[in-house]
Chain A
Amino acid sequence: MNIFKRHSTAEAVSFKEVLSTYEQPLYWHIRRMVVVHEDAQDVLQETFIKIYRGLGSLKSSEALKTWVYRIATNECLRHLQRKRETALSTIDNGEMLTASLMEGEHIDYDKEMEMKFQKALLTLSENQRLVFNLRYYDEMSYDEIHATTGISVDSLKVTYHNAKEKVKHYMTEN
Chain B
Amino acid sequence: MKRICRITIALCLPLLLCGPAMAQHSGPYVGAYIGGNMLMTAEGKDDQGSFSLEFNPALQGSAVLGWDLEPGNPMGEGRIELEYTRRSNQVDQMKFAQGYFQGSGNLVVDSLLLNGFGVFRDNRPWSPYAGVGIGVARIEASDLKVSGNPMGSGSAIVFAYQLGAGVDLSLTDSISLDLGYRFFSSTNPSFTEADGRKFDIDYMNHSAMLGLRVGF
Q: Do A and B actually bind?
A: no
What residues make up the interface of A, taking CB atoms closer than 8 Å to B?
none
What residues make up the interface of B, taking CB atoms closer than 8 Å to A?
none
